[in-house]
Structure 1
């Protein structure tokens, strides 16, 4: 397994306004945002989330085979850290085109950015930054002060996007 790039954001220092233009631009192009809590945490929506996550995860270097749907539910959804309000979705019409999922870990006092991804035809428009901005707002409104994430070292675009938002490298062993 590679040495993962571990990053952390200080929520108190994060400046939302610096990234507000990404939300405006997305909305002007017909993209809207909703959480899974707003849309409903239903079996159909869980399946749609799984399909979107699987498609977006295919681009992660050395990802390997994605979870089966049952494994995904058991490891990502049917766990105490899952919160439907922490699943931010980008929608074009009724199509789910992007996602940013964040889990909450009160036992460790942190939130964890599980996955942010956008379908290939919609990339290059700043949607990942817009999704991550909304995820950061969820973390802040939930009372957390740290948001952590980790990436494969060859996932340069994800690492750069997080660093642009203000995530900094973290010493191994300090993430939860």
Structure 2
């Protein structure tokens, strides 16, 4: 009754979007989004993609495994299993899991993530020996009616510090080389994101594919902080950055908000984030979503102070196949989490 076959492109993108939207409707995707993400994949990293067909129903589940391009480790693989809710508890996920393991080359560690309000995913993972090793906090804010006046002092403070904030679109129009400087700044800031892994630097070309060339990236909604007195050989005058991507369902996702260490404590990160929120509000679209990691409690508190509301977290589960142990995530380590 279950037939597993390779994922066919582009014809399977439409059914894949339908399955993903049935599982996680609050994070909708389109076939076009899936096609773009597929085209942006770095071919030097292994991946294996499959679907399951169920008798009389066609494609009802997806399975994929791949090396981690953001935090590469030999033998480490991300796994994804998505079974349409109408076809769960029929052995489809179990069959796909076994099939995926057969495709991997010398696997040492398996990793999967899912929302904490999907208990069936957690049961499936724990039954197979996976352990929770990380949590990412999601928060959301509706910009309609948001009052910016109480934060006017932040813009004044930025000016008094001799700093400037400009949209990325404005900077790119003036100087195409800004993209390379932003790439270097983004890498510096990214290494300070405390996600419990060691990041792998992408090539500039790969970064462009996944960031600025993504059709959902809106340069007008992304803002950069500059210090005109700074002339760094890699980042130039760029000292901070906040990015936004627009989901076709009319909500926005913050990708990065950060400033260089020597420029922190000046309200710059909040000022950058507020600029993006103002853009969203001015363009008649409301919700902004963001993620924070437990060690970065100050950033989470900043978001909550702006009015962001906590949502169910994203959980990362892992399983070692090399005899090692996964260190369980300890919520108590992080103040107020």
1:104 and 2:246 aligned: yes
Q: Quick one: distance in 1 between partners of 2:256 and 2:282?
A: 19
Q: Quick one: distance in 1 between partners of 2:261 and 2:242?
A: 15
2:259 matched residue in structure 1: 118
Q: Report the aligned-residue RMSD.
A: 1.7
Q: 1:16 aligns with which of 148, 160, 181?
A: 148
Greater RCO (Cα-Cα under 8 Å, separation 6 or more): 1
Query: What TM-score, normalized to structure 1?
Result: 0.90
Q: Quick one: distance in 1 between partners of 2:283 and 2:134?
A: 32
1:48 matched residue in structure 2: 181
1:68 and 2:209 aligned: no
> Structure 1 70/52 Cα, relative in aligned 2: closer, same or farther at 3 Å?
same
1:169 and 2:301 aligned: no
**1:134-145 correspondence to structure 2 within 5 Å:** 134-145=275-286
1:4 matched residue in structure 2: 136
Q: Quick one: distance in 1 between partners of 2:270 and 2:281?
A: 16
CA positional deviation for 1:126: 0.6
- The structure with the greater share of residues assigned to helix is 1
Q: 1:78 aligns with which of 182, 189, 213?
A: 213
- With 34-43 and 51-60 compared, the bigger mean Cα shift is at 34-43
> Structure 1 164/86 Cα, relative in aligned 2: closer, same or farther at 3 Å?
same
- With 38-47 and 23-32 compared, the bigger mean Cα shift is at 38-47
What is the number of residues matched between the two proteins?
172
Query: What TM-score, normalized to structure 2?
Result: 0.49
1:55-74 superposed Cα distances (whole Å, 9 cap, x missing partner): 11111112522433222111
Q: Quick one: distance in 1 between partners of 2:204 and 2:301?
A: 30
Gaps of 5+ in 1: none
Contact 1:7 1:149 in 2 (8 A): yes
CA positional deviation for 1:40: 2.0
2:65 matched residue in structure 1: none
